[in-house]
Amino acid sequence: MKLDPKSIIQGVATAVSPLYDDLLAKDTRTVHPALLARGSFAFEGDAIPRSRYFSAEFAKLERDHVWKKTWQFAAREEEIPEVGDRIEYAVAGMSFMIVHAAPGTFKAFWNSCLHRGRKLCENWSTGDQIKCPFHGWTWNIDGTMSKQPGDWDFPQAQKEHLDLPEVPCDTWCGNIFINPDTGAGPLSAALGVLTEHFADYEFDKRWTAIHVRKKVRSNWKVAMEAFLEGWHLSETHPQAQSFNGDSNTLYDIWEDEHAQISRSITPSAVPSPELGEAADTRAAVIEMCKAVTPPGIDMPDFAQIETLDRAFAAEYRRGVTTAMTGRDFSATSDAEMLDAVQYYMFPNWFPWWGEGAPLFYQYMPLGENPDECIMDIRFLLPMPANGERPPAAQRIDLDFDDSYQANNVGFGLFDEVFDQDMGNVPGVQQGAREGKQDQPLYFGRYQECRLRALHARIDRLCAV
C-alpha cells in the first residue's frame, strides 16, 4: 500500500510535551539550520515477513547486495594514528584490513594472504611491512609486494602480480569508510545530507573516550532497530520517562539513489506524553539535571528556583559541560545542549549530533550467521580546551551474555539503558523465528518510519 505522507500523524503532543517544532520555537539561542531541516516520509511497506531476520538465504542476499556494495563506516582515524598502523574491519563473513598508508592516507585491502589465505591483520597491528606469519610473504603498507620467500617455487604466482587486492576507502571528518565494490561511486554521495548537517560539527576534533563492542544474539537489523525509534522508552526504560519526550520524538528521512540518512530527535527536559496527567515539567527539568551531573559537581536547591523549564535545563547543562571540557557553550542552542539527536547512515552507522548524547554506534552481521551481530558503541567527546587529542580509549569487548552495568564500562546512565535494550533484542530474534511463520510483523507509520525505510531500501537493493 502506498502511504500518503499527509495522512501520517507526526507524534503525540500535549501542553507540557509539545511537538518538536514548538519546542524549537522557544529556544533561547539561534537554532542550528540542521535542526530546522525536514526530510520526507514517502515510502512503502506496511508489513514484513519474519524471515527477513533469520533466513540464511536472505542474509546471503544482504551480503551480496548490501554489504558488498555499499559505503560503510569501518573505523576512526584515531584508532590507527601512525603511518603503518592497521585495523581489521570484519562484516558479514568478510574481513578487510585498513592501513594508515602515508600521512593522512588510508587504504583498505582484503585481509587475506595471497599465498594460502591466512589473515594478515587480526584486530590491530603496526609496522612498515605487512608480513604473513605463516611463511613470511610480505607487503609494503601501500599494498605492493615487497618480499616473496620461496619465489622460485611459484612460477604461477609471480611477485609483480601479487599486490594486495584493494577496495575503495575514503575518509570524512576523522571517520574511515570502505566499500568492497571496486566500481563504487564516491563516498560523498552516500553521505547524503550528513556533509551539510555536520559541516561545522568538527567531528574530526572529537575523540573516543569510551569504546565498547558487544556480541549480540540477534540479526543485525533487530539490534539496530531497537535504536531506530524512541517510542519504546516508556515501556523499556521507565526510569527515563519523567524527563524524555518519547512519543513526541521528531523523525526525518532523506533518501535518494545513493544515500539513506535518517534522524530521530528525542527532546529532553520534557516529560513523556505517555505519562498523561502525571507529566510534570518541573520534575522533568530536575531529573534531567540530576542525570547529567557527574560526581563532584554540586547541584542547586531546586525547591528555591521559581522557573524550572527547558531554558533553565539548557543553561545548567552548559555549565556542567563547560566544567567538564573547559569549552564555551554560551552560544549553543538549548536543543543542542539537551536533546538526543541521532543520525543514521545506511547501512550500519549512527553518528549522534550535539552535546545532549555524544554517542556513536556501528552494527555488523557477525560472520554469516543471521542470528548474530556486533553492536559497537562509543562516547565521542569534544577535544579538551588545550587542543591536545587524548589517545582513543582501548576497546572493551563484551561477550553475548556480558552486561554493560556489571562490567561498569563507563557510559553512566546509558549502561542501564543498553542493558535494558539488550533485554529485548535476543527475545525479538527468538520470537521472530519461533512464532507463527505466516503472521507478518508490523511497523508504525510514524514512530517506526525509519525501520520501514531501512527494510524498503534493503528490499530494493536485494531486488525482492
Q: Which residue, 137 or 443, is less far from ligand FES as judged by CB? A: 137
Q: Which does 26 bind (CB under 5 to 8 A by kind): Fe ion, ligand FES, none?
A: none
Of 356, 208, 353, 379, give the one whose Cα is nearest residue 292. Answer: 356
Looking at the Cβ atoms of 130 and 187, the one nearer to ligand FES is: 130
Contact 321, 355 (CB under 8 A): yes
To 10 degrees, what angle do helices 281-292 and 310-325 make?
0
Least Cβ distance, residue 158 to ligand FES (angstroms): 15
Nearer to Fe ion, 225 or 421 (CB): 421
Q: Tell me which of ligand FES, Fe ion, none is bound by residue 205, counting a contact when its beta carbon lies within the kind-specific cut-off of 5 to 8 angstroms.
A: none
Closest approach, Cβ 147 to ligand FES, in A, equals 10
Q: From residue 361, how far is each of 17, 90, 154, 313 by CA, in Å?
A: 28, 15, 45, 26
Euclidean distance between the first and final Cα of the chain, in Å? 16
Q: From residue 61 to residue 100, what is the string marking binding to ligand FES with x (rule CB under 6 A)?
A: ----------------------------------------
| Number of alpha carbons in the 13 Å side-chain half-sphere of residue 437 | 6
115 binds, among ligand FES, Fe ion, none (CB under 5 to 8 A by kind): ligand FES
Smallest separation, CB 129 to ligand FES (Å): 13
* Residue closer to ligand FES (CB basis): 147 or 460: 147
Binding-site string for Fe ion from residue 413 to residue 442, where x marks contact by CB under 5 A and - marks none: --------x---------------------
Minimum CB separation from ligand FES for residue 133, in Å?
Answer: 8
What are the grid coordinates assigned to 376, written together? 559497537
Partner interacting with residue 132 (select from Fe ion, ligand FES, none; CB below 5-8 Å by kind): ligand FES
Give me the DSSP letters along 91-158: ETTEEEEEEEEETTEEEEEESS-TTT---S-SSEE--SEEE-TTT--EEETTS-EEE-TTGGG-TTS-
* CB closer to ligand FES out of 110 and 302: 110
CA angle 449/428/177 to nearest 5° reads: 60
CB of 165 to ligand FES, least distance (A): 14
From ligand FES, Fe ion, none, interface partner of 421 (C-beta below 5 to 8 A by class): Fe ion
Sites for ligand FES among residues 103-142 (CB under 6 A)? 113, 115-116, 118, 132, 134-137
Q: Which is nearer to Fe ion, 100 or 221 (CB)?
A: 221
Task: Name, in order, each residue with C-beta under 8 angstroms of 286's C-beta and a sequence gap of 6 or more.
Answer: 302, 308
The least distance separating ligand FES from the CB of residue 80, rounded to whole angstroms, comes to: 22
Whichever of 168 and 230 has its CB closer to Fe ion, that residue is 230
Closest to 144 in 3D by CA, of 109, 191, 92 = 109
135 makes contact, choosing from ligand FES, Fe ion, none, with CB < 5 to 8 Å by partner type, with ligand FES
Q: CA 39 to CA 353: how far, in whole Å?
A: 17
- Work out what residue 116 binds among Fe ion, ligand FES, none; the CB cut-off runs from 5 to 8 Å by kind: ligand FES
The runs of H, that is alpha helices, within 246-333 are 281-292, 310-325
C-alpha cell at 370: 543471521
Burial 175-210 (b: 16+ CB within 10 A, else e): bbbbbbeeebeebeebbbbbeebbeebebbebbbbb
Answer for the pair 292, 320: CB distance below 8 angstroms, yes or no: yes
The residue (of 334 and 421) whose beta carbon lies closer to Fe ion is 421
Nearer to Fe ion, 136 or 412 (CB): 412
**How many residues sit in the footprint of ligand FES (CB under 6 A)?**
9
Nearest to 265 by CA among 22, 455, 456, 73: 22
CB of 169 to ligand FES, least distance (A): 22
Chain residues in the site for Fe ion (CB under 5 A): 421
Q: Which residues bind ligand FES (CB under 6 A)?
A: 113, 115-116, 118, 132, 134-137
